[in-house]
Structure 1
């Protein structure tokens, strides 16, 4: 029997926006740092464990604690 390896494309979701994976070899935390340049609220944020959605592996990125309401 032959083993089949399925590779899912990573997507990083922030504030309802799906952002492409800038570097598949980067850790999710490195991707968070990359996108914090474009989305400053991600500085000090965190990446939530991924979920599979269809053929994608979706990581949710959440903003850091400063400036949060509630």
Structure 2
């Protein structure tokens, strides 16, 4: 699945999905693991703002990331 076109408005929406970064020692997302129900907006934000994203499939899921 492709990410949306990165307009200014889309970037703002993506940043808001990962606005918890202030809780981390460094707000720069390096190697990120994603667990849980797929959320395409959240995944798009993580793909854009992290250096590396690993999607861990749910147990019993037949979907591939």
TM-score by length of 2: 0.25
Which structure is larger by alpha-carbon Rg, 1 or 2?
1
Q: Which structure shows the bigger proportion of residues in helix conformation?
A: 2
Q: Which structure shows the bigger proportion of residues in strand conformation?
A: 1
TM-score by length of 1: 0.24
